[in-house]
Structure 1
């Protein structure tokens, strides 16, 4: 966990452009955006991926994603958004640092951290 990119971002050890933060979740703009407003949403508690989260943790993360996705859609004037979770390499989850993603007009909830 010490080398986890997302954990370092949450701790402020790596700079990011914060979109949203509360006690449970941190959200920031992607440094390699797929499109305008590409935002990652990650739990502050280290998690391998969405499937490793408890149902309550996943529910709380999903609530934040819903709110953040609406803000991204409004802020970018997008006609639509994508929200996605990539869990496991075969599903497109890259190394732990890139984690599962939830993407809305690219809101990506990056877990795997």
Structure 2
């Protein structure tokens, strides 16, 4: 096996796999049997939420099609709630694959960021957001999900 092929294998010790196993805490927004949505700890804007499949997948290209479909359904549901919870003018939804594509956590994940007219998308600075604020944002999104 070449080093590129070895590098492309799923690592069950990635941070999102640890969140799924309950080894690392997360501010959960939504969960069903196939997916989990939670707050990004390095948000690019208030309300930045991640959606991941529970099934192991390094990225879009190796995801099981049924798992991917469930993930996209959750993205749509959570995105509606994020937009409502933050009274956003729009949303940016994105997904990275492999280091050359900008991926840094190698478990498939889709970003949902509420956007506002005239406000630039923030950058991942490497700094962690205030946990209490993330908890407040998660509660706002859960309330919007419950109201839907």
TM over 0.5: yes
8 Å CA contact 1:29, 1:40 repeated in 2: yes
Aligned Cα root-mean-square deviation (Å): 1.5
**1:49 aligned onto 2:31:** no
Write 1 or 2 for the structure with the bigger share of helix: 2
Per the normalisation by structure 1, the TM-score is 0.84
Per the normalisation by structure 2, the TM-score is 0.65
Q: Which has the larger radius of gyration?
A: 2
Q: Which consecutive residues of structure 2, in runs of 5 or more, have no partner in the other structure? A: 1-10, 115-148
CA gap of 1:19–1:42, structure 2 versus 1, over 3 A, is same
How many residues end up aligned between the 2 structures?
104
| Distance in 2, Cα, partners of 1:12 & 1:103 | 21
**1:105 aligned onto 2:105:** no
Runs of 4 or more, structure 1, over 6 Å off, are none
Describe how 1:26-41 pairs up with structure 2 within 5 A: 26-41=36-51
**1:92 aligned onto 2:107:** no
